[in-house]
Amino acid sequence: MWPGRSSAALLLSLAIALSLTAVPASAATGWTVTGPSSRSPLTAQLTLEAGQLKLSAARAGRTVLAPAPVGLRTERADLSKDLKVLGQQQRVLAERYTMTTGKRKERAVRARETRFRLAAGDARFELVLRVSDDGVAYRYVLPDEGGTVVTGEASAYRLDPAATAWLLPYNAWYENQRVETTAAGAPAGEFGHPSLFQSGADFVLLTESDVDGSYSGSKLVHEAGSPTYAVKLADERVTAPGALRTPWRTAIIGDLATVTESTLVDDLAAPSKIEDTSWIRPGKSAWSWLSEHQSPRDFDRQKVYVDFAARNGWPYVLVDEGWSEDWVPELTRYARARGVEVLLWFHWQTLDTPQKRAEVLPKVKAWGVKGVKVDFMESDSQARYAWYDEILAETAALELMINFHGSTIPHGLARTWPHVMTMEAIHGQEQLPQPANNPVHPFTRNVVGSMDFTPVALEVGPRTSSVGHEVALPVLYESAWQHFADKPEAYDRHPNTLRFLNQVPTVWDETRYLSGHPGDEAALARRSGDRWFVGAITAGPARTVSTPLSFLGEGEWLVETVRDVPGSPRSDVQRESRVLRATDTLSHAVPANGGFAAIACPATPGRTTCDKPVQHVPGTSLTITPQDAGDRSPGSTFEIGAEFTADRPVRDAVLAPSVPEGWSVAGNPVWDNEFVPGEVLSGKWTVTVGSRTGKHEIPVAADFRDPSLDAPEVHVAKAVSVFVPPPVPADGASVSELPFVSASNGWGPVERDRSNNDQVAGDGNPLTIGGVTYAKGLGTHAASEVTVYLGRGCRSFTALVGLDDETTEPGSATFQLLGDGEVLAETPVLRGGSPAVALSADVTGVRMLTLRTTDGGDGKNHDHTDWAEPRLSC
């Protein structure tokens, strides 16, 4: 260990200059950089031959990476040939930092770095080469403050031609299945990071680190028969307005344990940009989309998932694609009163500009949402990385955690932005995978950062792996947010599985490789506090899996194992308890595609289980009056009252309302430092209505602490509904010109005077039904609802309705008109390609008019529904 000082994110950064003397190119043709310790197994050698630089790496004297080109090209110069080494500067780095996520919270780093000053003609640049005990990495530094345009890199890796390779055919969302081949025998094509190779006892995992909007992401390009893998940028031109530091070209090198346990990608990344990380909370999440695709549209069904999470002490529920802002604020209040926080899904294009993010993100934060899942970025371009930079800064400022789906892989992002809880970039559970690739992921994708595989599918999916295999996955697969794949009823039918899931953490103090080989089996141990968790899985025939327990400390340990019932691989797991020592081995017979999991804790007198109690928030009661304040005009006032009780002692209870911007409230919060059962916390406040029309909610919340809980604060709220009426529509008004009281849509937002098209607001086409184009109307997607205010001032409604012509396949839908919740008129099932159908209704006396579409009974695909020329007589 080396001396240091503590801080939240960067505990120690020590740089020792070892040589500052310039070394002319003529003085040497080769330079060797060794690992940081005298016993380090790794060396990297840079050679200069005929003006070209090449880099190689060796482990324990064995060549792991043969000499391969180094360099890059810009619009001004080719920095890959006719090179001269002008000098070098060396240093040893010793660094500590703390993570909020990952395989190990506390990180200690040592590395030896050499900075080579290079010239190609008049052009100058630097190559920074770093060697640690678990890998070799290099990056380019272009000092031109006037800016640079990079047109490509010469960077490449040359492997043993016969090395076994586990490669990911490239797409920009990294969700293909990996293929096992050889370095030279792989087909020609593009492959994604990270790529794993094995030559004898040596493994190499190729990837990159510290990629941001100053550069482009990359992939590996391979020619048939060649053992060389060249780096290709996602952009043909990468523009830097000033000096440039490229990402690290990174090779994690070692035995399989070294590669699996490596934190090199995070070690190379930029330090945290967030000083206070106390608001960042990893945890387990109930998630409904995979097992019930339509359930994110169903408020009542989402409450079932909330209740399930609350019963089992899971801190989150993820509401995926389809949620409505009509009910998410209420769901959030319902969840938080039960100790569960809400996470919301977004298509990235709804957040692709500063204006959209400024509108959406503060709004969901005000609802009480704690984090967002952002999907479908599907690009490694510099422009997309610049977007990552922007949304990461903005969500951090709002203290919103984030999960990226349809994304690139982690590049040390969770070190730089600790609120990144997980990223997808995996052929995960939503692809309904066969188990063959499952033992590959711990040695490839999950090495470089949290992986949102969404594990533990018991009754959803192909069901070709055993339950023991599934229950091991949340130990084997690290993800700071672990979104479980199945529905509450499935887990309730597997109580031993559920009991284990309730215990498994999602962030770790330590990770150890135990046994296994990519594609065959994998076993890891991870520590949280004084408890070790073991996960082991196999792919292929039944066998006995043995894992050493040498990671345990001295003395006796209580080991509780959950494994498949012999002969019943799809039934609930069985539990077994034994007292073992670090010298023992955990061995179990597992079925085909099987596995097991275990918890180990110190065996103390009287201890019968390693389980910790599942935490539940206190039972509370909050009553508010009125619940609905009705219609209120701007500037008017009304009174709110509230009473709060709790069924066990709590501290620092505060009761207060909050009002929208432009509204005001008279009266102070009420509070009680020591609040006990039987007490009532009550208050009254006078609210003055603001000028903005539409539906509003005035939440009244009781916030308090319970010292027995890990959660920093419990939030219990209910809301008073208020409606500020807009003007009654003018005679002849089109519905597309009116403010929406509420709107929900089956895909993307409701469009005004445009078709629905895709996810982005304003991306629609002209409204076209049966070959006829219409100027005015609404573009929706079944199932949809749009409600507008008539104020009992209109007489009739007319429209032409049908399926828009923009879809390539016919959809089907029905159209309904509702007045104050009662159906006034409806169509039969209409299909794409047919002419528009007239739909009209008498709306005399109607206060709220709703335009609704439903799918035609065959699902929502292609159901782009148009309300053409929707006119009111008022």
> Is residue 826 annotated as part of the catalytic site, yes or no?
no
Q: What are 846's two structure tokens?
A: 């109607």
Taking every pair of Cα atoms in the chain, the longest distance, rounded to a whole number of angstroms, is: 95
- 866 forms beta bridges with 779, 802
What secondary structure does DSSP assign to 355-384, as a single string?
Answer: HHHHHHHHHHHHHT--EEEEE-----SHHH
Q: What one-letter code names the amino acid at 843?
A: V
Beta strand pairing call for 148-153 and 52-59? unpaired
- How many whole angstroms separate alpha carbon 9 and alpha carbon 273? 9
Quote the strand ranges of 610-705, DSSP E: 620-625, 628-631, 637-646, 650-657, 664-666, 670-675, 681-688, 694-705
- How many whole angstroms separate alpha carbon 388 and alpha carbon 345? 16
Bond prior to 783 in cis (omega within 30° of 0): yes
- How many whole angstroms separate alpha carbon 290 and alpha carbon 324? 18
Q: In Å, how far from its chain's centre is CA 21?
A: 46
Helix, strand, coil percentages in the chain from 3-state DSSP, rounded to 5:
15, 45, 40
Query: Treating both helix axes as pointing N-terminal to C-terminal, what angle do 328-336 and 299-312 enclose, rounded to 10 degrees?
Result: 20
Q: What is the DSSP letter of 76?
A: S
CA-based torsion, 733, 735, 737, 741: positive or negative: positive
Q: What one-letter code names the amino acid at 563?
A: R
- How many whole angstroms separate alpha carbon 448 and alpha carbon 776? 51
- How many whole angstroms separate alpha carbon 682 and alpha carbon 704? 14
Give CA separation, 635 vs 343, 665, 717, 801, in Å: 35, 12, 25, 40
Q: In terms of Cα–Cα distance, which of 451, 586, 460 is closest to 515?
A: 586
Query: Treating both helix axes as pointing N-terminal to C-terminal, what angle do 382-397 and 354-367 enclose, rounded to 10 degrees?
Result: 30
Bond prior to 828 in cis (omega within 30° of 0): no
Q: What is the DSSP letter of 390?
A: H
Catalytic residue among 113, 341, 375, 706: 375
Q: What is the DSSP letter of 407?
A: -
Q: What is the DSSP letter of 736?
A: G
Catalytic residue among 320, 380, 430, 478: 430
- How many whole angstroms separate alpha carbon 193 and alpha carbon 168? 7
Cβ pair 825, 815 in contact under 8 A: no
Sole residue written with tokens 């990893």: 282
Cβ pair 870, 799 in contact under 8 A: yes
Cβ pair 734, 874 in contact under 8 A: no
Q: What are 435's two structure tokens?
A: 């188990």
Q: In Å, how far from its chain's centre is CA 419?
A: 10
Residue 281: phi and psi, rounded to 5, are: -130, 105
Q: What's the chain's Rg over C-alpha atoms?
A: 30
- How many whole angstroms separate alpha carbon 806 and alpha carbon 603? 67
Q: What are 48's two structure tokens?
A: 């200069």
- How many whole angstroms separate alpha carbon 773 and alpha carbon 494? 55
> Is residue 375 annotated as part of the catalytic site, yes or no?
yes
Angle (CA) 65 54 200, round 5°:
10
- How many whole angstroms separate alpha carbon 135 and alpha carbon 58? 10
Cβ pair 211, 231 in contact under 8 A: no
Count of CB atoms situated within 10 Å of the CB of 378: 16
Active site residues: 375, 430
